[in-house]
Amino acid sequence: HLIRTEQAMPRDSPYRFQRGCHAGSSLNNHGMGDPVRPCGLVRSSFRPSDDVTKLPYLIPANAMMAVELDRVCELLSSLGDDTSAKEARELSVEIRTALERHAIGHHPVCGEIWAYEIDGFGAQYWMDDANVPSLLSLPYLGFCSKDDPRYRRTRAFCLSENNPYFARGDYASGIGSAHTGQGSIWPMAIVMQALTAVDDAEILSCLRALKATHAGTGFLHEAFDPMNPENFSRKWFAWANTLFGELILTLHRERPHLLAQPL
């Protein structure tokens, strides 16, 4: 019901959210957020960073939802609930079709890539954020392969100055978040870059960046200054550290030779 409401009738949604805080944590338009045009995607008022979406159809979240609905379909089928399984499959197909129809645009530098957010009226927002689901994480989510041409172009955009939340400094380069402002890098994004890389050199570069930026704490932080990693936020950030553990286990299974390389 929730998915259908936020997909087909967002204007009539019973859900509102307002609170007394800075603009990035509350919805305008009487708690509804900015208007959207129904197009088959599911509205999301907040990003995984907890910041308000600029355009309410968050593309990485819809991509993740399509993948997970397929998995839910398989689970329901195994339990004999064919009716619910059919509904989950239909929702996934609708979302994937809408993504192909509305979420792809032509960036003036990077070519045909995925937008980060859209509104169904034709507006597209070009950026990526460190928090997952993100455009960088699409193969990790199971939405596409690492070598998918459109993903490769999108990835190149995300990891460049064309992304307003990409930062570069003496110690590292990578994607940050509006949650901490421009100019910072989130270790989570460096881990995700390694998880979605296709060559050893890039993975080693990510590992070296992570080693060089933990500020002697032995832990990954929320965000850090790429010119001075000792300037960081959240000395313990379980999400990033857990994702790093997954990276190490993945490398041990798929590219064990990299773990023997000097960093």
pLDDT in tens, the chain (263 residues): 778 777 866 667 776 556 655 555 666 565 666 777 999 999 988 899 989 899 999 999 999 999 999 999 999 999 999 999 999 999 999 999 999 999 999 999 999 999 999 999 999 999 999 999 999 999 999 999 999 999 999 999 999 999 999 999 999 999 999 999 999 999 999 999 999 999 999 999 999 999 999 999 999 999 999 999 999 999 889 999 999 999 999 999 999 999 999 98
DSSP secondary structure letter of residue 53: P
For strands 111-114 and 124-125, give the pairing.
unpaired
Structure tokens belonging to residue 216: 């002697």
Domains of the chain: 1-164 (1.50.10.10), 168-263 (no CATH)
The neighbour count for residue 12, using CB atoms within 10 Å, is 7
The secondary element (H helix, E strand) that includes residue 58 is: strand 57-58
- Give 40's Cβ-side CA count (13 Å radius): 16
- Quote the pLDDT of residue 248: 98
- CA geometry: angle at 173 spanning 128 and 257, to 5°? 105
Q: Which of 208, 212, 178, 175 is nearest to 192 (CA)?
A: 175
Check if the beta carbon of residue 149 is closer than 8 Å to that of residue 155.
no
Question: Rounded to an integer, what distance in angstroms lies between the CA atom of residue 73 and that of residue 50?
Answer: 28
What pLDDT, in 10s, does the model give residues 183-202?
A: 999 999 999 999 999 999 99
Q: What is residue 113's predicted lDDT score, i.e. its pLDDT?
A: 99
- Predicted pLDDT of residue 163: 98
Q: How far apart are CA 177 and CA 201, in angstroms?
A: 25
